[in-house]
Structure 1
Amino acid sequence: MNLNELRILQNYPLEMKIERTKQRIREWVDYYGENGTYISFSGGKDSTVLLDIVRSIYPNIEAVFINTGLEYPEIYKFVKTFKNVTILKPEMNFKQVINTYGYPVISKENSQYIYEIRHSTKKMRQRRLYGDSKGRFKLPNKYHYLIDAPFEISNKCCEVMKKRPVKKFEKETGKVPIIGTMAEESSLRQQSYLQHGCNAFESKRPVSTPLGFWKQQDVLEYIYKNDLKIASVYGEVIEDKNLLDECTYSTTGCERTGCIYCLYGIQCDTTPNRIQRLKKTHKKQYDYCINKLKLGEVLDYIGVKY
C-alpha cells in the first residue's frame, strides 16, 4: 500500500470504514480462530470502539487489559464492567522502572537515544549524537541539554510495563492480538500500516490493526452515533456543526488517557497541559507524581509548567 491509497481509505465515510474493519477482523479470526486471538483492551476510547466492533461479530473473544497502575482510576473501574477480560500485571511498578532505568521524556525515540548516549558503546554514542552517513537516527540538537540532566532518561517504561506482560501472555497462550492503533497517530504506525495493512500475517509478531485507516474523528463519531458507553474520565462526546453543516466531534473531559504519569510529548501540550489538568481533577495522583515520583523536578528541568 502507498500513502495515496491510505489517504483514500482515511477519507471513507464511517459506514464504509466499519464494514471494511469487520471484513479485516473476520479474515484475522478465520485464520487464527476465535480461541487463537484476543483483543488488546486499554479501556481507552479507541480500544472500546474496537472491542464493540469485534464483539458484535464474535461475542466471546477474550480481551486483555494490562494493569500498570498508571491508568486513571476511572479507566480501571470501566474495564471491570466488561466480561471475559483478563487482567495482566507487570513485574515492576512505575517507581521501580524510573529508579532503575529513568523517566519517559520528550518521546520514545529521543528518550532511547539519550539512554544510549549515556550507557552504550562509544560507537553507538557517536551514532546517536551525529547520526548515520545520511544524518539520520540522531538526537536532535535541541535536546542535547538532556544528556547532562540530573536524572536518568529512557524508553524502557513501555517495554517493562506493557510489552513484557503481553509477550509472556502470548507465549503462554499462543494467542495473537487485535489492537486499536491507527496510522495517523505517529509516523512509525503509519509506516507499519503502509507495509502490512490491517492484518500483519507475515510479521514476526502477527498483529491485526483493523482500525488502522481510521482517524480520531471516526472514533468519536462512532461513539456518538452508537451511544457507546466510554470511561467517565472522557466526559461525553459532543457534536458540533459549522455553517456548512459539517460535523466535528469532541469530548467534554480528557481527550486522551493513556498513562497518566507519562511525559512523552508534554512539551507540545496546549495549556492547560495534562499535568495541570491532573491537578484539578485528580489531586491525589497529582501530588504523588509531582512529589513522590519527583516529576516536578523533571518538568522544571525541561521548562514545562505544572
Structure 2
Amino acid sequence: MSNIEERLEARYFDKFLPLIYSKSFGQRLIDSSPHQLRTWESRTGKVAIFHRPPPTIKEDAFAKPERLGRVIKQLAVCYRKDLRGKVALAREVLRTLFEATDNVAVAFSGGRDSLVALDIARKIRPDIPVMIVNTGIEFPESIKYVRQLAQDWNLNFYEVKPKVDFWKLTGEQGIPVAGRGNTTFMRDLSNKADVKLSNSCCRRMKETPARQFYREHKIEGVITGLRVSESLMRKLNFADYGALRYSKTYNTLIAWCLYAWKDQDIADYIQKYKLPLNPLYNMGYQRVGCWSCLQDMLYKDSRLFTLQKQHPKLYDVLIKNLGDEMMRLYSVWADIEDFELDTKELEGLYRPCDFVMLEQYRKENKKDSRTDLLDLEIENPS
C-alpha cells in the first residue's frame, strides 16, 4: 500500500472523509500510487482524493463485510458523542467540503433533519444558497413554512419546480410503492395486481430540477440532512462512500454532515436553538415530503393514515386519481384479491385497525408458502 493510500485509509476510518489538496500537489500524490485512485476536481483548482470503495461481493466475498464492520465500529464511537460533539462532527464535514470548493448549496426539504443541517451551515456561511424543490405535490403547510423561514432567516433562497406533472407521470410510468431497493417485491406485486409501479417520479420531479439548478448556478457541493441511522440501505451506502462523496446524479460533491446524528440529537438541537419546525410534525406526520407519495402505503405506520385525518380533501384527490390501483395493490398484498373488491371498499379497509388485522390475516395465509415473494420483508422507505 502506497503512502497516499495509507493516508486515505486512515482518514476514512477515522473521519469518513476524503483528503483535499491543491491540484498540483494532489496530482503528484495520485501519480505516486500504483493503483488508480478516485478523485474529483473543483473549478478552483482543488482536488478531492477518496478512499476506494470495496470490490463487489463477486470479486471479494469478504471485503464489503470487513469494511462495514470497521465503519460500524467507528460509527459507534461517533454515536456516543454528546450534542456538542455531534455538531463538531458536522462542522468538520462542512469544513472539508468548503475546503474543496466555494460553490456550495444546501438542499432543503422542509424537514427537521435538513433544517438542522441548514442551521449549522448558515452559521458558517450566512449567504449560502438554499434550494428546495417544489414538486407541486408538497403540503401547503410546507411551502408556506419554507417561504416564511427564508424570509425570517434572510436566506439566499431558491424554489425550483419540475417540468412534469405527478399525475400524468404516474399514469405513464407507474406509481411509487414500496421504496427503492425493493425491486423484486415491486415486480411481483406489480404483476399480480396488474398495476404499473415505478420510482421515476423521484428522479423526474426531484433529482432532475435539482440537477438543473446545480448546473445553472455552478454548484459543486451540496449539503444534505441525510443520516446513517435512518435505514439499512443508508448504512450500507455510507460504509462504501462515507460522509463526503461524489454524486454522478448531480455531478457534485454530496455532504452527509449529520451522518452520526440520532433522532434525539435532532430533537435536542432544535430545542436548544429554538428552531421553527414545519407545522406538519405537530399534526402527526413523521415525514413531510410529497403528500401523494405511496412509498409507505403497505406499512402500519403509513403516512396515508395521517393524511386521511389531517388532510381529507387531499386524500380524496389521491383516491380519485389512484384509488383503483391502490385497491388492487392492497388486495394482492393482503391476499384478499379473490373477493374482487373495488375502490368503494378501500375507505373501509384501509384504516390503521383494519390494516393490522389484514396484516395478521396475510401472515397466517403465508405460513405454508414461505417462498412467496410477497412475504419478503421490505425496508421502510425514508
TM-score interval (norm. to shorter) = 0.7 to 0.9
Whether the 8 Å contact between 2:193 and 2:329 is mirrored in structure 1 is no
**1:12 equivalent among 72, 78, 81:** 81
Count the aligned residue pairs.
Answer: 258
For 1:87 and 1:207, locate their aligned partners in 2 and report how far apart those are by CA, in whole Å. Answer: 19
Which residue identity does 1:181 align to in structure 2?
L
Instruction: Quote the offset at 1:23 in angstroms.
Output: 2.0
User: Shift in Å at residue 106 of structure 1?
Assistant: 1.3
1:63-102: per-residue Cα shift (whole Å, max 9, x none)? 0000002222111101101132111111112101201100
Shift of 1:280: 1.3
Residue 172 of structure 1, CA deviation: 2.0
Which sits farther off after the overlay, 188-197 or 75-84?
A: 188-197
- Check 1:298–1:106 CA distance in 2 against 1; reply closer, same or farther (3 A cut): farther
Unpaired runs of 5+ residues, structure 2, are 1-12, 14-70, 335-348, 352-382
Q: What is the one-letter code of the residue matched to 2:198?
A: S
Q: Are residues 1:22 and 2:91 paired?
A: yes
**Which secondary structure state, in structure 2, belongs to the residue aligned with residue 87 of structure 1?**
strand
- Give TM-score scaled by structure 2 length: 0.63
Larger relative CO (CA 8 A, sep 6+): 1 or 2?
1
Post-superposition Cα deviations, 1:207-262, rounded to whole Å, max 9, x if no partner, equal 11101111122111211222211111112xxxxxxxxxxxxxxxx73222222222
Matched position secondary structure for 2:109: coil
Shift of the 286–167 alpha-carbon distance from structure 1 to 2, 3 Å rule, reads same
User: Residue type matched to 1:188 in 2?
Assistant: M
- How far apart are residue 150 of structure 1 and its match? 2.7
Which residue of the partner structure matches residue 186 of structure 1? 231
Give 1:146 deviation, angstroms.
Answer: 3.0
Per the alignment, residue 287 of structure 1 pairs with 316
2:171 matches 1:99 = yes
The alpha-carbon deviation at position 22 of structure 1 amounts to 1.2
Q: 1:291 to 1:201 in 2, by over 3 A?
A: closer
State the match for 2:136 in structure 1: 69
* Alignment TM-score, normalising by the size of structure 1: 0.78
User: Residue type matched to 2:122 in 1?
Assistant: R
Q: Secondary structure at the match of 1:20?
A: helix
Q: Identity of counterpart residues, as a percentage?
A: 29
Deviations 1:140-190 (A, max 9, x none): 5x9724323232111211111111111112222220211110111223321
User: What are the within-5 Å matches in structure 2 for residues 126-145 of structure 1?
Assistant: 139-140=184-185, 144-145=188-189
Unaligned runs of 5+ in 1: 114-138, 236-251
Instruction: State the 4+ residue runs in structure 1 displaced beyond 6 angstroms.
Output: none
Whichever of the two has the greater Rg, that structure is: 2
1:296 CA drift (Å): 4.2
Mark the CA change 1:52 to 1:298 in structure 2 (over 3 Å): closer, same or farther.
farther
Alignment of 1:43-58 (within 5 A): 43-58=110-125
